Amino acid sequence: MVDIAWLPFLHLAKIMQCDSGYDFLEGRPKLKKWQQTPLNTDLASASVAPDFDEAFSGFYLSDQTLLGRQEAVCDRGFSEACATDACC
């Protein structure tokens, strides 16, 4: 059940790593090892549209988004939206 609940995050993290080089799981070797288990089952690719990876990367990893430009929200001056700067 935990693997299935985390599958969307693990899948998106893998797409981001492959397409942008940013690794959400960097420095977490046990989590990275666990990530491979559900991804090796092909459940992630079977549960989304065939062009999902391309569509996700085409928008969310484009220069139109903070994620695509690899900018932190705080780099954009939005920290006033946070209750504290701890979110940055």
Q: What is the pLDDT of residues 33-45, one digit of tens each?
A: 999 988 998 888 8
The answer to whether residues 60 and 67 touch, using CB atoms and an 8 Å cutoff, is: yes
| Domain limits, the chain | 2-87
Distance from C-alpha of 38 to C-alpha of 60, rounded to nearest angstrom: 23
CA distances from 40 to 8, 15, 30, 48, 63 (A): 14, 14, 16, 15, 30
Paired tokens of 33: 């090892």
Q: How far apart are the first and last CA of the chain?
A: 31
pLDDT in tens, 43-85: 888 889 999 999 988 888 888 887 777 776 565 554 554 544 4
